[in-house]
Structure formats: C-alpha cells, structure tokens
Amino acid sequence: MNPIRFFAIVLILSFSMVSCGIIGSDNPCEKYIEKQRMIDILTEAYLLEAHISHQQTATNIRDSLPHLYGGLLQKYNVTAEQFELAFECYMLDRILMNNVLDEVLSNLSIARSKADEKKEEEEIEEDAISTDTIPANIILN
C-alpha cells in the first residue's frame, strides 16, 4: 500500500472517530447527557423515589411514576430515549458511573443535612411557641 494513501486513510478515520465522539473526549456519554446534568437528574430521581417510598397512604402514587419522571426529564430538557441511552453509556464505564454516583451521594447528603437543619429550626420554633407563657405582670393586673 502506498504510504500516502495509508496516511490519508488513517487521517480520515481519525477525523471520523473524533467527530463521532469515539475518541477525543474524556466522557463519550456526554453526547447524550453531560455529566453534571446526569448527576442532577439522578439526584432528583433518588429524592423523588425517597418521597414516594414514604407516602404509604397514597397507594396509587406508583401509577403516576411515568408522569413524575416525565416531568423530571422535561425539567432538564431530556427525552426518555436520551436518558436511557445516556444511562446505558454511563453504566458501561464503571469508573465514570462511580464518579457520577459519588457526586449524587454527596448531593443527597447535603440535601439531607439541609432538611435536618430545617426540621430542627421548626422544632425549636414550636418549642418556643409552646413554652411561651403569659408574663406574670399581665396576670397580676
């Protein structure tokens, strides 16, 4: 094979692979959903699942899951097909998926801390209101 022809073929293949996202990207899954958006979607999905699992009285809430997840994906301007392709892609790269899940876990921990702080503040306010008594000088008058 002619060296110039071989070089031309290699050059064309290289350009093709770069343009398709096969090489040249640290995260090939970003062609579907970029990493930070995937982290945000998964964080909200876990929060949504946690909320649903605590709704024991609403038995038919599971029937509305497609609608709830549809709203979540719509919020991030992502189709269900895009999400499925991206999720499959992220799952194929164990290290990348572990990084994504580590950040999701961090986000969930932060959300939990904020929720705990808010709950403590509300309990302090309730205690202050319930222990608030009428001042003695008002009673004596």
Q: For 81-102, what is each residue's pLDDT tens digit?
A: 999 999 999 999 999 999 999 9
pLDDT of 19? 54
| CA 86, 87, 93, 99 torsion-angle sign | positive
Task: Kindly state the percentage of the chain with pLDDT values over 70.
Answer: 66
Taking the whole predicted model, whether its pTM rises above 0.75 is answered as: no
DSSP assignments along 5-27, one per residue: HHHHHHHHHHHHHHHHTSSS-S-
CA distance linking residue 29 with residue 87, whole number of Å: 8
Q: For 38-77, what is each residue's pLDDT tens digit?
A: 999 999 998 888 877 777 655 566 666 677 788 899 999 9
Mean pLDDT of the chain: 78
Tokens of residue 115, six digits:
């929720």
Tokens of residue 88, six digits:
């499959």
DSSP state of 85: H
